Structure 1
Amino acid sequence: MAEHNWIKIILTPFSRVYGLITLLRNFLYNVHIFSSQKPPQFTISIGNITVGGTGKTPMVEYLTKNLSSKYQIAILSRGYGRKTKGLLFADDTSTASDIGDEPLQYFSKYGKNIVVAVCENRVNGAFAIHNKFPECNLLLLDDAFQHRAIQRDVNILLNDFNRPFYKDLPFPAGRLRETRSGAERADVIVVTKSPADLYDTEKEKIRRSIQKYSRREVPVFFASIRYAEPVSYNQSPVLLKNVIIAAGIANPLPFTIYLRSKYNVVEEIIFPDHHNYTPTDLQHLIKYIKNDTFVVTTEKDMVKLKPLAAESGVLDHFTYLPMEMNFGADAEPFDHWITNHTL
Structure 2
Amino acid sequence: MVLLRKILFPLAILYGWVTQFRNFLFDRGLLASTSYDLPVIAVGNLSVGGTGKSPMIEYLIRLLSANHQIATLSRGYKRTSKGFVLADAHANAFSLGDEPYQFHQKFPGVHVAVDADRRNGIAKLLQLNPKPGVILLDDAYQHRKVKAGFYILLTAYGDLYADDFMLPTGNLRESTSGARRADVVVVTKCPPDLPLAQRVKIEQRLNLLPHQALFFAAIAYDDFVYSENARVAVSEVRGEQKLLLAGIAKPKPFFDHLKTDTDVVKQFPDHHDFSEKEIAEIVHDVHDRKIITTEKDYVRLKGRVKPDQLFYLPIKTVLLSQSETFDQILKNYVGTRTANR
TM class, shorter-chain normalised?
over 0.9
CA contact (8 A) 1:75 1:139 kept: yes
Compute the displacement of 1:135 (Å). 2.7
Give me the TM-score of the superposition, normalised by structure 2: 0.93
Q: 1:245 to 1:283 in 2, by over 3 A?
A: same
CA contact (8 A) 2:43 2:53 kept: yes
Aligned to 1:295: 291
Aligned to 2:181: 185
**1:226 aligns with one of 220, 227, 234:** 220
Aligned to 2:311: 319
- 3-state SS in 1 of match to 2:330: helix
CA contact (8 A) 1:47 1:156 kept: yes
Q: 1:118 to 1:273 in 2, by over 3 A?
A: same
Could you report, residue by residue, the CA deviation over 1:26-46 in whole angstroms, capped at 9, with x for unpaired residues? 000011111011134310000
Q: 1:58 to 1:235 in 2, by over 3 A?
A: farther
Compute the displacement of 1:230 (Å). 3.5
Could you report, residue by residue, the CA deviation over 1:99-128 in whole angstroms, capped at 9, with x for unpaired residues? 1000000000002x1100000100110011
- 3-state SS in 1 of match to 2:272: coil
Q: Which runs of 5+ in 2 are unaligned?
A: 336-341
Compute the displacement of 1:215 (Å). 2.0
CA contact (8 A) 1:39 1:123 kept: no
> In structure 2, how many angstroms separate the alpha carbons of the residues matched to 1:133 and 1:81?
28
CA contact (8 A) 1:223 1:326 kept: yes
Could you report, residue by residue, the CA deviation over 1:46-88 in whole angstroms, capped at 9, with x for unpaired residues? 0000101100000000000111001110000000010111000
Aligned to 2:338: none
Aligned to 2:303: 307
CA contact (8 A) 1:233 1:302 kept: no
Q: 1:264 to 1:133 in 2, by over 3 A?
A: farther
> In structure 1, how many angstroms separate the alpha carbons of the residues matched to 2:248 and 2:145?
27
Compute the displacement of 1:330 (Å). 2.9
Aligned to 2:203: 207
Aligned to 2:245: 246
Aligned to 2:97: 100
The amino acid that maps onto 1:329 is: S
Aligned to 1:35: 32
Moved more, 75-84 or 244-253: 244-253
Moved more, 133-142 or 316-325: 133-142
**1:281 aligns with one of 278, 281, 298:** 278
User: Alpha carbon RMSD of aligned pairs, Å?
Assistant: 1.5
Equivalent pairs, count: 330
Q: 1:15 to 1:104 in 2, by over 3 A?
A: same
> In structure 2, how many angstroms separate the alpha carbons of the residues matched to 1:123 and 1:40?
13
CA contact (8 A) 1:82 1:100 kept: yes
CA contact (8 A) 2:192 2:218 kept: yes
Does the alignment pair 1:342 with 2:339?
A: no
**How high is the sequence identity, in percent, across the aligned residues?**
37
- 3-state SS in 2 of match to 1:341: helix
Compute the displacement of 1:258 (Å). 1.5
Give me the TM-score of the superposition, normalised by structure 1: 0.92
Compute the displacement of 1:264 (Å). 4.5
